[in-house]
């Protein structure tokens, strides 16, 4: 199972394994697909996505802004609101 080490707590974000991955999100820029009527194949959509993975322990998020081959940028939760 591929993983990246979390700099916030030392645990890991798993970047492979179970499909769908419960710790992975795919992101798209709003202007990436400006026409909502355009049809696109799932594989093409997946290849154009930015991937984000959540640390299994502290919920920090690793975002791969420049593709999965590049190093991620980590974001740590700074405020949690209680419902």
Q: Give 22-31 pLDDT, tens digit per residue.
A: 889 999 888 8
Residues of the chain with pLDDT under 70: 1, 80, 82-83
pLDDT at 1: 58
- In contact, 47 and 28? CB cutoff 8 Å: no
Cα separation, 14 vs 10, in Å, equals 13
Q: Please state whether the predicted TM-score (pTM) of the whole model is above 0.85.
A: no
- DSSP string computed for 41-83: -HHHHHHTPEEEEE-TTT--EEEETT-TTSPPEEE--------
How far CA 41 is from CA of 3, 32, 77, 78, in Å, comes to 27, 15, 34, 37
pLDDT value for 62: 96
Task: Say what the pLDDT of residue 53 is.
Answer: 94
Residue 83 has a pLDDT of 61
User: What is the structure's pLDDT at 48?
Assistant: 86
Q: What is the pLDDT of residue 6?
A: 93
């Amino acid at each position: 199972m591929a993983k990246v080490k979390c700099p916030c707590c030392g645990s890991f974000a798993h970047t492979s394994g179970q499909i769908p991955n419960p710790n992975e999100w795919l992101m798209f820029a709003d202007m990436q697909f400006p026409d909502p009527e355009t049809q696109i194949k799932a594989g093409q959509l997946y290849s154009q996505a930015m991937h984000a993975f959540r640390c299994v322990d502290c919920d920090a998020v690793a975002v791969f802004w420049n593709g999965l081959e590049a190093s991620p940028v980590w974001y740590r939760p700074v405020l949690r609101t209680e419902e």
